[in-house]
A and B are shown apart, each in its own frame.
Chain A
């Protein structure tokens, strides 16, 4: 395999190859754009798979009583829906965006470690193949919820839990290597003169996300390893009979799990911080405070994990500490929302699809943030815990938060990826259908949750029937609409109005300095950024 030594690239000559032909292009690639595209397509496939599981859940919950699936299968659906959406849809989508955009944004020829980059991607289909195959194993797939609390996931788990654990290990290896690559790229491959405070916010938020990933994915690996040991090697980490503690599982899991939720939202913050200025035709308000707010959120994410465990029985001191620490997160998050709104203030705004998704992001994510504040109040959480209110909360931060952030990014950068403009009318339709569907699906969950409807149960009290029917109709609407998104993207790849290098007149950043579609190799010689302003937002603060 010494043939992989590319003498052209090695000697710095500029005659580049295009992509290889056929399947080997994708299997063997080291190109950040190819790998980014594979991540994005994989993510979308998982989004549809996890989404169809959500459709099963909502179909069963359309009416009270058991109609369509057995409770055992319902449990597998809720579990797999969560796992697939978190690890298969949202995280890979952001890694795909990072792969595509970070080298373009910082003027780098590729990612820092291109072969490892391909390894990180291909581990994902392997991991999810293994995970999804558990559904067809004897005893069924994981049925203990995506948080897989012990002893449900140890003593009482189906046999397939072993493969679930190993699949999580594969995902973890993928995420850690992917994050190391992103961080090394940002720290080492910036164009000359691009100081840290000149970086676009998407790059900043990904630098911090990468740090979070490297810090907590190993902790997830640790907790599933302890499960594996308890199941197969007779240890008693999560069994009080041997001196262990099931609550230990929850501590270790949520030490991973809370930073994880910021892993799923920080890159969306970064993307929206590029899109809102572009369509407001104003520089981003408060660039520096955005950077510090992101760092503050990341720091706080490490000291709030037990707010997921208020009802499990932790000492009063713990309840108070975690309650106040959690509330503190509202401060840097508030700074961000304030900055986005101030960026729009008096801007000459237009509402193309990326902007529609971004504005909806700001409003709806804030709603999710507020319900998060309600949940942070320990005594009140005793009422909300394990109800649909929690489901409403995290779907409000994940769907119009993470997913809308991804849609906004996709529409914003599709012209750069494909060289064509997408169909704006259809994209607006996609937005409004998603917006209405998602609010119909998740807003009523606040009400049924406050009234006490428990989550993860296939049946419910008659009094919740109407709201659940509304939820299901909204969910079906949101689900079907995503096929429209697939159609829009394919249509955009196949043709459409040719996109200029910079199709958005208010957009800024190095990615718009290369042609659309971006050539297979870009920035083999880095651009010089020395004369750029410290940050473009600098002069027009306020």
Chain B
């Protein structure tokens, strides 16, 4: 068990406290900004505070991860340390799964219980007394109170952009796996090519997703405020889109590291972690495609 004897315990680090301050400032700024917007106050210090905090966070991310990369390349990390990173990333992804579970749970609850009850069906159909005559359909093209929550005139069809996006993301999972195989065999040329292609596919996905949102907002009246269909639709696809953005950024960082000659065929956990994250985001999309768009 020789690898137990070299566990790397880092000395003092300034990054955690910078990260804390950065997050606190960002969140305080965001909160002030939102509150000022809602109250209709013209002058708000919120945006400024928010962006200062965000700068802090960005500085911290570069510094902290840069530090870890440097340590890794100095050879400070034992195989046991590598396992700590693997467990850390595994459980982080599990926490992300549970985050999405909350939103999927909300969707299923609305579709299979609360929605029908509001329409007068099922065990708690008495809820229909709130808005007598309300008929439940999914997609919900008619909300109980259209004055407060104007219903959309239509929803996004699964077989247009979403289908193309599905193909894009699934393909990107394959290209990323090809990149990984190339890395394992130390074939740097194909590695760069496949990885760059993966980032491009991710970016293409995001562009199409934005296009879909514009279409929804301008032509269909499908917005965050258009009742529960719009709420769940944008919450699920929006958080997924945010994750694709983060994943694409991480993969871009990996691409830069590959171009700088980082990683070897044996040692490349940074790359693997990025790949795990990307595949996770891909699986979430498949769930979305089935439960949000198709069914």
- Interface-facing stretch out of B141-149, B205-213, B271-279: B141-149
Q: Select B9's contact among A110, A233, A240, A248, beta carbons within 8 Å.
A: A110
A237 adjacent to B84 (CB under 8 Å):
no
Taking a contact as CB atoms closer than 8 A, the residue among A109, A169, A217, A243 that contacts B7 in the complex is: A109
User: In A139-178, which residues have CB < 8 Å from any B CB?
Assistant: 159, 162-163, 165-167, 169-170, 173, 176
Report if A236 contacts B (CB, 8 A): yes
Contact among A170, A228, A232 with B23 in the assembled complex (CB-CB below 8 Å): A170
Which residues in chain B, 77-104, are within 8 Å of chain A measured between CB atoms? Answer: 80, 83-84, 87-88, 91-92, 94-96, 98-99, 101-103
Q: Which single member of B64, B102, B127, B230 contacts A240 (CB below 8 Å)?
A: B127
With a cutoff of 8 Å between Cβ atoms, the chain B residues found around residue A494 in the complex are none
Please encode chain A, from 6 to 42, with 1 for each CB lying within 8 Å of some chain B CB and 0 for all others: 1001101000010010001101111000000000000
B70: min CB distance to chain A, Å: 6
With contacts A237-B106, A248-B114 taken as known, whether A231 is within 8 angstroms of B38 at the C-beta atoms is yes
How many chain A residues touch the partner (CB < 8 A)?
Answer: 92
Question: Could you tell me which residues of chain B, from 114 to 140, have a CB within 8 Å of some CB in chain A?
Answer: 114-115, 118, 122-124, 127, 130-131, 136, 140
Contact B24 A2 (CB under 8 A): no
A2 to B226, CA, bound (A): 51
Which of B29-37, B173-181, B189-197, B258-266 has 4 or more CB atoms under 8 Å from chain A? Answer: B29-37
A123 vs B15: C-alpha distance in the bound complex, in angstroms? 12
A242 & B98 in contact (Cβ 8 Å cutoff): no
Say yes or no: B228 contacts A242, CB within 8 Å. yes
Asked if A115 is an interface residue, CB under 8 A from chain B, the answer is yes
Judge whether B5 is part of the interface by a CB distance below 8 angstroms. yes
Chain B residue nearest to A223 in the complex (CB):
B102
User: For window 208-242 of chain B, which residues contact chain A by CB distance below 8 Å?
Assistant: 223-232, 234-235
**Known: A242-B144, A242-B145, A255-B105. Is A229-B38 also a contact (CB below 8 A)?**
no
Bound Cα distance A127, B92 (Å) = 21
Q: Is A462 in the interface zone, CB < 8 Å from B?
A: no
CB contacts (< 8 Å) of B130 on chain A: these are 240
B148 touching A184, Cβ below 8 Å:
no
Of B12, B16, B95, B114, which one neighbours A247 at CB under 8 angstroms?
B114
B154 at the interface (CB under 8 A from A): no
When the two chains form the complex, which single residue of B15, B96, B123 contacts A115, counting CB atoms closer than 8 Å?
B15
Q: How long is the Cα–Cα vector from A235 to B123 in the complex, in angstroms?
A: 26
A219 touching B102 by the CB < 8 A rule? yes
- Interface positions, chain A 77-111, Cβ under 8 Å from B, are 108-110
Does B186 lie at the interface of the complex (its beta carbon under 8 Å from any beta carbon of A)? no
Cβ of B110 under 8 Å from chain A: yes
Tell me if A126 counts as interface (CB < 8 A to partner B): yes
A183, B118: Cβ atoms closer than 8 Å:
no
In the complex, what residue of chain A is closest to B91 when comparing beta carbons? A180
Do A115 and B102 form a contact, CB below 8 Å, given A2-B70, A242-B149? Answer: no
Known A-B contacts A232-B38, A243-B227; A27 and B17 likewise in contact (beta carbons under 8 Å) = yes
Report A183-235 residues with CB < 8 Å from chain B CB.
Answer: 183-185, 187-189, 191-192, 214-219, 221-223, 225-226, 228-229, 231-235
Asked if residues B227 and A242 are in contact (CB atoms below 8 Å), the reply is: yes
| A315 at the B interface (CB under 8 A) | yes
Determine whether the beta carbon of B20 is less than 8 Å from that of A243: no
A130 proximal to B (CB < 8 A) = yes
| Assembly CA distance A243 to B17 (angstroms) | 43
In the complex, chain A residues whose CB is within 8 Å of the CB of B114: 243-245, 247-248
Whether A236 and B231, one on each chain, are in contact in the complex, defined by CB atoms closer than 8 angstroms, is yes
Interchain CA distance A145-B17 in the complex, whole Å: 31
Q: State in angstroms the CA–CA spacing of A30 and B12 once bound together.
A: 6
Contact: A29 with B12, CB < 8 Å?
Answer: yes
Give the Cβ gap from B95 to chain A, nearest Cβ, in Å.
5
Check if B9 sits within 8 Å of A6, measured CB to CB: yes
Give the distance in Å from the alpha carbon of A128 to the alpha carbon of B225 in the complex: 32
A contact residues vs B (CB 8 Å cutoff): 1-2, 4-6, 9-10, 12, 17, 20, 24-25, 27-30, 108-110, 112-116, 118-119, 122-123, 126, 129-130, 159, 162-163, 165-167, 169-170, 173, 176, 179-181, 183-185, 187-189, 191-192, 214-219, 221-223, 225-226, 228-229, 231-237, 239-245, 247-248, 251-252, 255, 313-317, 521, 525-526
Listed A/B pairs (28) with beta-carbon separation below 8 Å: A5-B70, A9-B9, A12-B5, A24-B12, A28-B13, A30-B9, A110-B7, A112-B88, A115-B10, A115-B13, A126-B21, A162-B34, A163-B31, A165-B31, A181-B88, A214-B95, A215-B98, A218-B98, A218-B101, A222-B103, A228-B34, A229-B231, A231-B38, A239-B148, A242-B143, A243-B118, A245-B118, A315-B122
A-B contact sample (14 more), CB < 8 A, given A214-B95, A243-B229, A255-B105: A109-B9, A115-B13, A122-B20, A126-B20, A129-B24, A180-B91, A185-B84, A219-B101, A221-B102, A226-B103, A240-B131, A243-B144, A244-B228, A315-B122
